[in-house]
Structure 1
Amino acid sequence: MPKVLISDKMSSEAEAALKARGVDVDYKPGLSPEELKSILPAYDGIAIRSATKLTADLIDAATNLKVIGRAGIGVDNVDIPTASKRGVIVMNAPFGNAATTAELTVALALAAARHIPAATASTRLGKWEKNGFMGRELCGKVLGIIGTGNIGSLVVERFLGLKMRVLAFDPFISKQRAEDLGVSLCPTLDEFWPQIDVLTVHTPLIPATRHIVNAAAFERMKKGVIIVNCARGGIIDEAALYEALKSGKVFAAGLDVFEVEPARSNPLFELDNVVFTPHLGASTHEAQVKVAVQIAEQIADYLLKGTVQNALNIPAVSEGELVTLRPYLNLADKLGTTLGQLNESGIKRIEVLFEGEVAALSRKPITNMVLNSLLKPMLSGVNLVNAPLIAEERGIEVVEAVRRHSNKGFTSALGVTITTEDRERCITGTLLYGKEPRIVAMNNIPIEATPEGSLLFVANNDAPGLIGRVGTILGEAQINIANFHLGRKEIGGRAIAFINVDQDVPREVMEKLTSVPNVIEVKLVRY
């Protein structure tokens, strides 16, 4: 039974969802890093929110950890590169709190535009200062939005309802997607800043977005702009925002996030034209339940079924996709395993060729499986998560190629070619009856072989008597031949054989086979 630790405060429904699926759960929020480090080796998975900081040393200590689940969107509290190197999947729950955060964005924009917190405080004191809180109307103004992903798209929808025009800066969406959202795309920030009346940001905090809203940006904006940040502290340069608010360049701001959290003190707190909330983007009962249940179900599905959803360091595969992909993943595993055990030298290039129907499927999971199975015989600690990183670290070029129609006569075929310092090997496989893996070509020589059990590979020059000698050596060693598959291109040319054997082949037998005249290479592949 897989075991999962919930190390942050989370809805009790997360624990219930894990247990209902047959996962053992420990709920232990508030552990110190030292306490966490001491118990992590006992767990297959961990569910966190923002309080737990999974640093490199903690992930390294979690020797059995397979999955990290973040109940929410931001994962800046997880060392993803270390997790990837250790083969740990990192997944989040990007949809559960999207509506809640979008609603808070609108609330902060309206509260800032109409001075609602300050007016509330004044009215509570009985001052009735009607002329002291002159606000701004949003209807008909231009909302500038940076980032139109899960949350950003919902924010757009809500501000369009306020009859605002929306201008978006997002290099990762197409013109068609922008049209579908009802926004105008701005190609550069230099063109973006002068046009907006209200700014909201909805991107992760990464080096490219840190202080993307800075003093130079404020200088280019209209006087009287309103700034809202419900994404991540650090996207907006707080020192520059402070000066812009004091000078009147920025009319007002609404901030839910800060560069340093918890924000016990901040120069911005001195200003009356800023609305603050303590990182409440996901803080509604509905959102807390949604993200907790979502991440619990995702963790359970991965540990029990191998289904990957909303992963940040591996291609995600839904349960429905997995049904279609699974036979091809099995085929990719067999092909990668075969080449990995045949190879003897450093690999420079790996090409995965998708032919026919398989070309229409999600290719990344299949490529990852090829890399995983191919590299495993040569390197320890390789898995589906870190295989692409390990290949990249070793300077291996990985290429995907697509051929919509197979030129080998199959409705679907998968080919893998590896290039080393001194040679190139290629293997092609297909699915028999749509589910059973078969090798159908090796080094461009047609053959049909079943990749299972122990498979003896023999490369030779086509010559009379060779099959008999090979069979005799195996028979004398009491090794039973289950299947003997032969392939050649022309009489007297290069030939190959794949021999399914029922027993392992000892080293001395391999040496005898290699010494047979006209035999070029003999290898044993174990599946």
Structure 2
Amino acid sequence: MAPRVLVSDALSEAAVQIFKDRGIDVDFQPKLGKDKEKLLEIIGQYDGLAIRSATKATEKLIEAATNLKVIGRAGIGVDNVDIPAASRRGIIVMNTPFGNSITTAEHAVSLMLAVARQIPAADTSTQAGKWEKSKFMGVEITGKTLGVIGAGNIGSIVCDRAIGLKMNVIAYDPFLSQERAEKIGVTKVELDELLAKADFITLHVPMTDKTRGILNAAALAKTKKGVRIINCARGGLVDEAALAEAIKSGQVAGAGFDVFETEPATESPLFGLPNVVCTPHLGASTTEAQENVALQVADQMSDYLLKGAVTNAINMPSISADEAPRLKPVIKLAEVLGEFAGQVTENAIKEVEVLYDGNFAQMNTTALTSALLAGLLRPLVADVNMVSAPIMLKDKGIILQETKRDKSGVYDGYIKLTITTEKQTRSVAGTVFSDGKPRFIQIKGINMDADVGRHMVYISNTDVPGMIGFMGTTLGQAGVNIANFQLGRDNEGGDAIALLYVDEQPSDEVLDKLLANEAIKQAKPLEFSVE
């Protein structure tokens, strides 16, 4: 059955057609996002939800979305999606961070020019029949210093355009390397130096606890007198009341704002001040940008629902369309190793250590670890997947460690999972052969080579004669057919293990008969998510 996607906001017909062309059953209801009750009533029917800003994916809606696998936001902002709620439910949240980058950058440059030359006020005056040429004295931007706070995707485009306008560009960004700064032609500085030197300041950072109010009263007091400030990023990055006071005092000569602390912004301390240019969050509002993000989100959602490829996800590691087929069998291996450990571990887990060896260490290990954790937690929390598992592990206070190393043994690559509980440490390792199927290669430090089946029995015992016959006879008398039997030991008379691949799971009564043998320490029925 084809995946079903609901488009509840006004995406373009071309975007809807992408879903159809990819074989997705798409339901296009562009006005539904505003009807909360109707949306709540039908959301359980869909695998995907494609939205802009009108639809609010609240916790209540997400709880009702029993089949939902992915939410795609056509645009960069995901303020209208409850990401923690989606993550707990294992729903991937995607956005399109690059589809409107150029448009937003151009709007920032436009506001900078408008503020520099007082264009809006001059336009209003001229159209009113006045000719106040001397009143609107502006400043050139050529040779001026532009301070860019945040030199990421949009910020770097602004840097490029400003350099083209012959400005001197300095940038503050904790994640900007010296090499990257040199490549894009800017000087990397600390925030205080930027404030002291910049003639214009433009912000291009996300809203976080660290960036909220980054230009507050204290920061504004450190700026060069006569600075002009542009904000096309997020409302709340600049303290609007403090900025208004700085403009009134002459410390700041002007400002261009596209975003506000409260939106829709029907009032602001900035409104009505001289040389303040305000627009109603138009950063992404061009025909090209709106079309680009709509097409992009349709492609991204289709790739995930049909191929398992994850692009621009907020709460999930990316898996490219090219990478997905190659990664799929290794993801299954990681999941199986987690499922094994989760089922045989009987005490509270304190620490999880994952080792990637050989060619597996070169893969997307973030995705692999997410799959492994999903398998590990599934026996404890039935409704868990690659999205929700890392969050659940953190919530439980379990320590996670990940190690990568070059090939160290006979296998081209393998994954080893070690679980530490309050009472013991247990490990399991596996690899994938050319047939693409997962195999166990080591359990508790004991080497073996075992297929993975849907129904298995794990037995830990003391190495004494007659155990193979006892196990086979006990299961055979109960009518449980053994498809495959693998065993190993650490040394003669020491610890031994057996993995039995069976056609059906033995009953509790049969397991009790196995455990009645004093040499058997543990007999666990196992279920794996393999075909």
TM bucket (normalised to shorter chain) is over 0.9
Q: Match of 2:439? A: 438
> How far did 1:190 drift?
2.6
TM-score by length of 2: 0.96
What secondary structure does 1:267 align onto?
A: coil
Q: Of 324, 333, 343, which aligns to 2:345?
A: 343
Q: Match of 1:220? A: 222
Q: Match of 1:167? A: 170
CA contact (8 A) 1:141 1:197 kept: yes
Deviations for 1:468-506, whole angstroms, at most 9, x for unmatched residues? 111111221222222111211221111111111222211
CA contact (8 A) 1:146 1:203 kept: yes
> How far did 1:405 drift?
2.3
Which stretch of the first structure deviates more once superposed, 210-219 or 11-20?
Answer: 11-20
Task: Please give the residue correspondences for 1:14-93 in structure 2 after superposition, counting only pairs within 5 Å.
Answer: 14-24=15-25, 25-29=27-31, 30-93=33-96
Task: Please give the residue correspondences for 1:262-411 in structure 2 after superposition, counting only pairs within 5 Å.
Answer: 262-406=264-408, 408-411=409-412
> How far did 1:11 drift?
1.8
Which residue identity is paired with 1:493? G
> C-alpha separation between the residues in 2 aligned to 1:316 and 1:393?
23
Which residue identity is paired with 1:470? M
Structure 2 gaps of 5+ residues are: none
> How far did 1:269 drift?
2.1
> C-alpha separation between the residues in 1 aligned to 2:201 and 2:35?
38
Q: Match of 2:519? A: 518
What secondary structure does 1:511 align onto?
A: helix
What secondary structure does 1:310 align onto?
A: coil
CA contact (8 A) 1:74 1:204 kept: no
Q: Match of 2:153? A: 150
User: Cα RMSD between the aligned structures?
Assistant: 1.5
What secondary structure does 2:500 align onto?
A: strand
CA contact (8 A) 1:327 1:434 kept: no
Task: Please give the residue correspondences for 1:438-457 in structure 2 after superposition, counting only pairs within 5 Å.
Answer: 438-457=439-458
Equivalent residue pairs, number: 525
Deviations for 1:390-434, whole angstroms, at most 9, x for unmatched residues? 01111111110112222x321101000111111111001111127
Deviations for 1:249-284, whole angstroms, at most 9, x for unmatched residues? 111111111112122233322123011211111111
> How far did 1:223 drift?
0.9
Identity %: 51
Which residue identity is paired with 1:348? K
What secondary structure does 1:449 align onto?
A: strand
Deviations for 1:368-403, whole angstroms, at most 9, x for unmatched residues? 000001100111321111101101111111110112
Which residue identity is paired with 2:357? E
Which residue identity is paired with 2:115? A
CA contact (8 A) 2:11 2:30 kept: no
> C-alpha separation between the residues in 2 aligned to 1:13 and 1:44?
20
What secondary structure does 1:319 align onto?
A: coil
Which residue identity is paired with 2:282? L
> C-alpha separation between the residues in 2 aligned to 1:70 and 1:89?
11
* Counterpart check, 1:104 vs 2:107: yes
> C-alpha separation between the residues in 1 aligned to 2:125 and 2:458?
85
Task: Please give the residue correspondences for 1:411-426 in structure 2 after superposition, counting only pairs within 5 Å.
Answer: 411-426=412-427
Structure 1 gaps of 5+ residues are: none
Which residue identity is paired with 2:410? G
Which stretch of the first structure deviates more once superposed, 200-209 or 31-40?
Answer: 31-40
CA contact (8 A) 2:432 2:439 kept: yes
CA contact (8 A) 2:456 2:505 kept: no
Which residue identity is paired with 1:157? D
Which stretch of the first structure deviates more once superposed, 369-378 or 155-164?
Answer: 155-164
Q: Match of 1:488? A: 489
> How far did 1:367 drift?
0.2
Which residue identity is paired with 2:207? L
Deviations for 1:429-467, whole angstroms, at most 9, x for unmatched residues? 111127221111001010111112222211111111111
> C-alpha separation between the residues in 2 aligned to 1:138 and 1:479?
82
CA contact (8 A) 1:466 1:516 kept: no
CA contact (8 A) 1:332 1:369 kept: yes
> How far did 1:299 drift?
1.4
Deviations for 1:65-119, whole angstroms, at most 9, x for unmatched residues? 2211111101122111111112111110011111111111111101110111112
